[in-house]
Amino acid sequence: MNRQAQAVVLFLVGVAVLRAGFTDLYLRYVKAGLQPLLLLAGAVLIVAAAATLWYDRRPPHTADGGEAEHDEGHEHGHAHREPRVSWLLVLPLVALILVAPPALGSYSAMRAGTALQQTPWGYPKLPAGDPLRLNLADYAGRAAYDHGRSLGHRHVKVAGFVALDKNGTAYLVRMALNCCAADAQPVKVGLSGNLPPVLQPDTWLEVTGTYTGKRIKDPVNDGVIPFLEVEKAKPVKAPRDPYDESWNG
């Protein structure tokens, strides 16, 4: 690939990164706190593209500092013609700019083991309110490892997307990120009780229910999957940041 093609690829990557960073698209790839670094990376790539193009177009210099004369025949005889097929590398970048990929959903969730782990510092007392809004991981941890002691008979309200296993068991899921979508892992809560008659995978639901002692082992990694006894459920719009557990519907 010649320098002009390299400059085009660098420029398109930079544009794609900046477009993602200035919109909510970047939240499909990395945590919100990494936005400044993403914008900086995009700007650096565009500057690198401009520098590459400038370097390629500047006239060559002789040893005494003057501009060298071009020997077109000599250059033509020794120039290597890059295959045009190399420009196909640009197509995925154009697609990245024009098409926003979906966030990770039920397909990924059901092929990865639950990320739920016991917290070493216990579970603090919950605030007043009925129903009580909790993020999915908080309910799951209290249900699985605190055995519902801090939940009691209180009504809780959680939100997530629907996933179904091969037996038709329904789960409410949130994907947890350490850094980026590549390391995303699901936190799963099984649903029992008054479920909607039709459940579509990847539909976002806000569910109100109570603690139940029912739990199963995740077949992928033997992790604990607690359940929630559903009293009512309603579809909700997917959150701006699908990986941010502070969103509660």
pTM above 0.75, yes or no: no
Residue 127, classified by CB atoms within 10 Å of its CB into exposed (0-12), middle (13-18) or buried (19+), is exposed
| All structural domains of the chain | 3-101 (no CATH), 107-235 (2.40.50.140)
Q: How far is CA 152 from CA 125, 132, 143, 210, 216, in A?
A: 11, 12, 10, 8, 20
Provide mean pLDDT across the span 104-111.
89
pLDDT tens per residue across span 133-176: 999 999 999 999 999 999 988 999 999 999 999 999 999 999 88
Q: In which band, very low, low, confident or very high, does the pLDDT at 67 lie, cut at 50, 70 and 90?
A: low
Q: Considering the chain, what is the average pLDDT of its residues?
A: 80
For the chain, what percentages of helix, strand and coil (3-state, to nearest 5) are there?
35, 25, 40
pLDDT of residue 53: 78
Long-range CB contact pairs, 47-56, < 8 A, 24+: 48/10, 48/14, 49/7, 49/8, 49/10, 49/11, 49/14, 50/7, 50/11, 52/3, 52/6, 52/7, 52/10, 53/3, 53/4, 53/7, 55/3, 56/2, 56/3, 56/4, 56/7
pLDDT of residue 74: 46
Cα dihedral 69, 75, 80, 86 sign: positive
Strands 170-176 and 204-217, how do they pair? unpaired
How many whole angstroms separate alpha carbon 228 and alpha carbon 211? 5
In 3D space, the residue among 39, 37, 43, 36 whose CA is nearest the CA of residue 11 turns out to be 43
Q: Which residues contact 106 (CB under 8 A, 6 or more apart)?
A: 161, 162, 163, 164, 173, 201, 202
pLDDT of residue 4: 72
The residue among 90 and 81 whose pLDDT is bigger is 90
Q: In which band, very low, low, confident or very high, does the pLDDT at 78 lie, cut at 50, 70 and 90?
A: very low
pLDDT of residue 96: 64
As a whole number of angstroms, the longest Cα–Cα distance in the chain is 88
pLDDT tens per residue across span 179-222: 776 677 899 999 999 999 889 999 999 999 999 999 999 999 99
| CB atoms closer than 10 angstroms to residue 186 | 29
The residue among 232 and 9 whose pLDDT is bigger is 232
- Name residue, tokens 């193009």: 53
In this predicted structure, the answer to whether residue 231 has a pLDDT above a threshold of 90 is yes
The residue among 177 and 155 whose pLDDT is bigger is 155
If you count them, how many residues does the chain have? 249
In 3D space, the residue among 201, 161, 184, 174 whose CA is nearest the CA of residue 29 turns out to be 184
